[in-house]
Amino acid sequence: MEEVKQSKKRYILVSVIFILLALLLFLLPEKYDLKQKQVWELLRELNSNTRFVTTDYVAQKIINKEPAYKLIDVRNENDFKTFSLPGAINIPIKNILDKDKKGKYKYEDILKNDENTINIFYSNGTIYANQTLLILSRMNYKNNYVMKGGLNKWFETIINPRKPQKTAAESKHILYRNRKAYSIFFTGGGVQSETSPETPSQTPKVAPKKESPKEDEGGC
């Protein structure tokens, strides 16, 4: 009988240790990802402008139907349903780090790129897309870019381009002509009014004249 008591005592001690260890594991905060980027490296990346692409660059990608890019809208679902760029995927910024039951990042397959593919993020302005890029950059996700100026800039430059003055440089006129062609492509007709974000993009009808991205402002 004494032996049984001793044995029980031993098992109680072992059990208590195991339960405490399991309880601690259950109560611990969410795992800290040690693979994340160092703060100084992140800051250096943020200070450089290489993460931006222009609206012209995005317009060309869409028109040319290039396969090696993903256009990601980080606004909320309602805004996305109201208006989005053709072929865009909606991942609201608040959901970017969502995990599935296995603990894997839900959008990892979409957000992670190989060497040949890129992600272009956009929001209404630049802020949310920039924040998304910051999060992904911290997680060491590569080949991510922000459409500078977001949809506001898109409407300003692509949908309703402003005609340059006659005395302006030739390159400005070429850019304007390209943008007029883009506008026709995306609106399916004449130039739209300023307040047209409610209208989803139309099926392309006229292919624009292709120019080198170098002639546009910036690029990636």
Partner 1 sequence: MGPFFTSGDEFSYVIALIIGIGFGFVLESGGFSTSKKLAGVFYGYDFTVIRVFFTAAITAAIGLFYFDYLGWVDFSALYINKFFIGSSIVGGLIMGLGFVIGGYCPGTSACAVGIGKIDAMIYLAGVIIGAMIFDLFYPLYGSFYKSGNMGASSIYELLGMSKELFLLIFVVFAAVTFYFTTGLQHKITKKMNKKNEQ
Q: Could you list the residues that contact partner 1 (CB under 8 A)?
A: 1, 4, 7-8, 11-12, 14-16, 18-19, 21-23, 25-26, 28, 31-35, 101-104
CB of 95: closest distance to partner 1 in angstroms? 19
Query: Is the Cα torsion angle 93, 159, 85, 108 positive or negative in sign?
Result: negative
CB of 75: closest distance to partner 1 in angstroms? 30
Residue among 7 and 171 whose Cβ is closer to partner 1 = 7
List the beta bridge partners of residue 146.
Answer: 52, 121
CB of 159: closest distance to partner 1 in angstroms? 43
Please state, in angstroms and as integers, the Cα–Cα distance from residue 178 to each residue in 69, 169, 206, 212, following that order.
21, 15, 12, 11
Say whether 157 sits in a helix, a strand or coil: helix
Residue among 23 and 43 whose Cβ is closer to partner 1 = 23
CA–CA distance, 203 with 63 (Å, rounded to integer): 11
Q: Max alpha carbon distance in the chain (Å)?
A: 106
Residue among 44 and 99 whose Cβ is closer to partner 1 = 99
Residue among 18 and 44 whose Cβ is closer to partner 1 = 18
